[in-house]
Amino acid sequence: MFNRIAKEALLRLASQFPVIGITGPRQSGKSTLARAVFPNKRYVTFDDRTMRELAASNPSDFIAAFPEGAVIDEAQKVPEIFDALKMHVDSTGFMPGKFILTGSSQFRLKQNTTDSMAGRVSFLKLLPFSARELIDAGILPDNPYDLIYSGQYPPLYDPEKHFIPEDWFESYIDTYLDLDVRDQINVSNLSTFKKFIQICAFHSGQLLSMESIARDVGVSAPTVKQWLSILETSFIIHFLEPDTSNLGKSIVKTPKLYFVDTGLLCHLLRLDSKEELLLSRHKGAVVETFAVSELLKHRMNLGRKPNLTFYRDSKGFEVDTIADWKHTFAIEIKSANAPEAKLSANTRKYLELRGEPDVRNAVFYLGDLSMNINGTTYVSWKDWNTFLS
């Protein structure tokens, strides 16, 4: 198994809460991580129809059959167990990390768990592999565009499998529609929803325009809002909200939309090769999406909230990402492969506007070396996931 950075956060949370829910996009490695970290716990999957029917028919006895706890996969498929879990946890004494729940339908898992087990459950969000995890495994490509084009979903890096990314992503979308979306929208709209996902790909890295998406898809703006929520909840996309620092009333208040995985994004953009990506008008947006995804993984692998925003004013001045962590970092994302001084112009201007000593600036670029030049940190693509370390 690949060493997942999120392992430490999972152990930390499991030392405090009796129930842990592992959420994240389909095929991000949730079940694999849970079984690797807790090898001595019984493993149950509700993909097994017999187990599913057994748990649904008598949930209290089913949970009681695991006095030392268990890893329960696809837990959302038997919503009856959540009340039984609450009663079991409350009646058997405090035992942290007793039950580990995973599921490919994040919306239903989190809704059922939160409704039934407030204060007894904590969630860890697991995204696909980070560049750091691929470095640790010794399989990071030398060229950043190889990684950006292929994406970072774990099955694509399984040495026992030989998936062609184009075929895998097409199957992934179909599975996602059938298993995660079908019960949330009218079935007759599934083909339109698939078109909607593709239209959203053309908006990755841009300010969200629900009206534009609605017009291109041919549905209403309220429908687009609902469907965006489905994509966000299932970790297909992520929104960056605008920076709320007190820098005037002219700050743009519209969020920016990003896909979580650039391989899926390139597939939806109908890019057939790394070379097509290099020549595409979408190259800058895809590179920016990759950087934001790496920052998200850094935070989620620590079990922390992303705390990522962006800055843009009404005159068009923009800083790609503001990371409000131990220190605040203003980050500019560039597809350049050399650390030129002009790349940091916007972040330096932002530092002047903020005028706060704890605000720092960084440029994410596609070179191979990270360095500090005149107070600006130039971060290699290989270090985007761990530049604070």
How does pLDDT run across 168-206, given as a tens digit for each residue? 999 999 999 988 898 889 989 999 999 999 999 999 999
Classify residue 296 as left (phi > 0), alpha (psi -120 to 50) or beta. Answer: alpha
Packing angle of the helix pair 190-201, 210-217 (nearest 10 deg):
130
Q: How far apart are CA 354 and CA 331, in angstroms?
A: 14
Packing angle of the helix pair 80-91, 106-116 (nearest 10 deg):
40
User: In the beta sheet, which residues pair with residue 329?
Assistant: 323, 360
Token output for 35: 């079984």
Give Cα 119 distance to the centre of its chain. Answer: 24
- Say if strands 359-365 and 121-125 run parallel, antiparallel, or are unpaired: unpaired
Q: Give the residue extent of every domain in the chain.
A: 6-125, 131-383
DSSP for 25-48, please give it.
STTSSHHHHHHHH-TTSEEEETTS
Local confidence band at 248 (pLDDT 50, 70, 90 cut-offs): low
What's the pTM value of the predicted model, to 2 decimals? 0.93
Res 119: pLDDT: 76
Local confidence band at 326 (pLDDT 50, 70, 90 cut-offs): confident
**Is the CB of residue 298 less than 8 Å from the CB of residue 385?**
yes
Question: Is the pLDDT score of 4 beyond 90?
Answer: yes
Res 246: pLDDT: 64
Res 183: pLDDT: 82
Local confidence band at 336 (pLDDT 50, 70, 90 cut-offs): very high
Whether domain 6-125 has CATH 3.40.50.300: the reply is yes
Q: How far apart are CA 136 and CA 192, in angstroms?
A: 40
Local confidence band at 1 (pLDDT 50, 70, 90 cut-offs): low
Question: Is the pLDDT score of 114 beyond 90?
Answer: no
Token output for 182: 């079908």
Closest among 44, 43, 30, 26 to 1, alpha carbons compared: 30
Q: Which residue carries 């407030």 as its tokens?
A: 118
> What percent of the residues of the chain are helix, what percent strand, and what percent coil, each to the nearest 5?
45, 20, 35
